[in-house]
């Protein structure tokens, strides 16, 4: 009797496939707006390695997963696999462990087995995702890239030299790293054809080829994300980008080619243009650049002290649009309050869970998991009570109103929070004066 083949992590699993629809739905509902740029850059003629920047823990993997329904295999840091039950869950979710240098040299040697499995995944034409930074950082910046993805690419090419292998840079830009239902912009960079790169640099040794690959990947990630150097001027630079965003968007819209672009794309391009202007100012007039950073640092300090949201600073909506949103929230306030009451167990559970994390980058991942696991259970309890106590047609209508309760509650309090932030911003003459000076320098 033939020996049964051991199941591979990339093999089809019906339970996983069904769960994907459920998870993808909740991922999409975790963001107010999602925009994909250059999705056509994902090759269709070979093996794919997705290489995203890493800023938001689990959510980064989930948004990559939800690009389409294709199964994808991921790697995650090995220490979260120590619990046998969690290890089995991660394996079911098609996540493999990978050791880091901080785990010690002996532990890192175990990565050779993981690399072999990764190569096997790619040879089966299953998309593979690894975060080349190795760890997350909740900033619009980029950490040094590790060699893991490059080693896997070279070894895979050795095993199938005549089949195209691509590394696809993916720039993930969130509107906010810590607030739930923010925005998500995902840009797919120019794919790196590993075989062609090796062929073009065949005179070089493997280490030199990896260095070229790493530099190319780093440049693509910088171009596809809102890259701000992580130096002493990081906070001031981000503040400046938001202060002048509405002005820069106005300049972009003067060009007919930009008319009709999604709001997220206009905001991204506006910030990119501002970053270029700041760099030019640093080169042309270092004294004025230093004054600009000094003003922005003070503005940042005052804004944070007054608990004013950056979204208020960027002024992405006109006054009339904000007033209209507030009016709608007030008119639907009874429903918003009822939804908040229904979502209260979920909201309280979120508050308790978030206190366990010192790193705020985990907050949205925790909220997502609670929304995914807790809210369906609460909803089942609610609809059971409704159908037991009401005629079926009234129970059905009530169930439809209860279903989006967490999102309705969040949007209601988001509107009130942002309105309060707007009022505090526009009533603070000191901050307004600083913003005027900053805009004058970058006019």
Strand partners, 49: 128, 167
Q: How high does pLDDT run on average in the chain? A: 91
How far lies 332's CA from each of 32, 274, 411, 419, in Å? Answer: 19, 39, 11, 16
Mean pLDDT of 311-328: 91
Q: Distance (Å, rounded) from C-alpha 80 to C-alpha 7?
A: 22
User: Is the pLDDT confidence value at 129 over 60?
Assistant: yes
The rounded distance, in Å, linking the Cα atoms of 434 and 286 is: 19
170: closest CA among 190, 151, 152? 190
Structural domains present in the chain? 14-224 (3.40.1130.10), 234-306+428-441 (no CATH), 323-426 (no CATH)
Measured between alpha carbons, how far is 310 from 226 in angstroms, rounded to an integer? 15
- Is the pLDDT score of 8 beyond 90? no
| pLDDT over 70 at 191, yes or no | yes
Element (H, E) at 195: helix 194-200
pLDDT of residue 4: 60
Of the candidates 149, 110, 144, 158, the one whose C-alpha atom is nearest the C-alpha of residue 128 is 149
Q: What is the 3-state secondary structure (H, E, C) of 357-399?
A: CCCHHHHHHHHHHHHHHHHHHHHHHHHHHHHHHCCHHHHHHHH
Helices 405-426/333-354 angle, 10° precision: 90
Q: Find where tokens 């991204």 sit.
A: 268
Which whole number is the average pLDDT over 33-61?
94
134, 36 contact by CB (below 8 A): no
pLDDT at 182 over 70: yes
pLDDT on residue 82: 80
pLDDT of residue 106: 58
Percent of the chain exceeding pLDDT 70 equals 96
Question: Which of the listed ranges 162-166, 182-186, 320-324 does the model predict with the highest average pLDDT?
Answer: 182-186
- Among 5-19, 85-99, 257-271, top mean pLDDT goes to 257-271
DSSP 292-347: HHHHHHHHHHHHHHTT--HHHHHT-S-HHHHHHHHHHHHHTHHHHHHHHHHHHHHH
Q: What pLDDT score does 1 carry?
A: 44
Minimum mean pLDDT range among 85-99, 216-230, 283-297, 388-402: 85-99
260 pLDDT higher than 50: yes
At 166, is the secondary structure helix, strand, or coil?
strand
CA-based max dimension of the chain: 83
**Which band of pLDDT confidence, cut at 50, 70 and 90, is reported for residue 100?**
low
Q: Which pLDDT value is given to residue 148?
A: 85
């Amino acid at each position: 009797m033939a020996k049964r083949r051991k199941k591979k992590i990339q093999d089809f699993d019906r339970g996983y496939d069904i769960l994907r629809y459920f998870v993808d739905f909740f991922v999409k509902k975790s963001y107010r707006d999602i925009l994909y740029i250059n999705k056509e850059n994902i090759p269709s003629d070979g093996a794919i390695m997705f290489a995203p920047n890493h800023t938001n823990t689990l959510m980064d993997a989930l948004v990559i997963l939800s690009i389409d329904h294709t199964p994808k295999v991921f790697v995650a840091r090995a220490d979260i696999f120590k619990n046998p039950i969690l290890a089995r869950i991660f394996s079911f979710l098609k996540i493999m462990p990978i050791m880091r240098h901080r785990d010690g040299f002996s532990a890192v040697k175990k990565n050779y087995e993981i690399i072999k499995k990764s190569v096997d995944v790619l040879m089966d034409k299953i998309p593979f995702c690894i975060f080349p930074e190795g760890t997350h950082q909740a900033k619009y910046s980029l950490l040094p890239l590790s060699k893991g993805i490059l080693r896997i690419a070279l070894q895979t090419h050795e095993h199938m030299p005549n089949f195209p292998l691509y590394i696809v840079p993916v720039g993930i830009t969130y509107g906010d790293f810590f607030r739930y239902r923010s925005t998500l912009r995902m840009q797919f960079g120019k794919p790196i054809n590993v075989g062609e790169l090796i062929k073009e640099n065949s005179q070089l040794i493997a280490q030199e080829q990896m260095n070229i690959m790493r530099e190319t990947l780093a440049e693509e990630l910088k171009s596809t994300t809102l890259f701000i150097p992580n130096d002493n001027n990081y906070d001031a630079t981000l503040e400046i980008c938001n202060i002048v965003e509405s002005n820069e968007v106005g300049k972009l819209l003067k060009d007919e080619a930009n008319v009709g672009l999604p709001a997220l794309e206009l905001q991204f391009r506006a910030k990119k243009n501002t970053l270029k202007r700041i760099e030019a100012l640093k080169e042309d007039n270092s004294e004025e650049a230093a004054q600009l950073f000094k003003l922005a640092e003070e503005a940042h300090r005052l804004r944070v002290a007054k608990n004013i949201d950056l979204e208020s600073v960027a002024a992405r909506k006109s006054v009339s649009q904000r007033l209209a949103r507030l009016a709608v929230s007030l008119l639907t306030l009874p429903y918003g309050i009822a939804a908040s009451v229904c979502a209260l167990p979920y909201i309280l559970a979120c508050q308790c869970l978030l206190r366990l994390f010192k790193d705020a980058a985990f907050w949205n991942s925790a909220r997502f998991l609670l929304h995914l696991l807790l809210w369906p259970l609460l909803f089942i309890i609610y609809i059971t009570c409704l159908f037991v106590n009401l005629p079926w047609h009234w129970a059905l209508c009530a169930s439809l109103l209860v279903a989006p309760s967490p999102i309705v509650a969040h949007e209601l309090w988001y509107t009130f929070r942002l309105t309060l932030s707007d009022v505090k911003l526009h009533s603070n003459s000191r901050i307004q004066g600083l913003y005027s000076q900053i805009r004058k320098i970058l006019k």
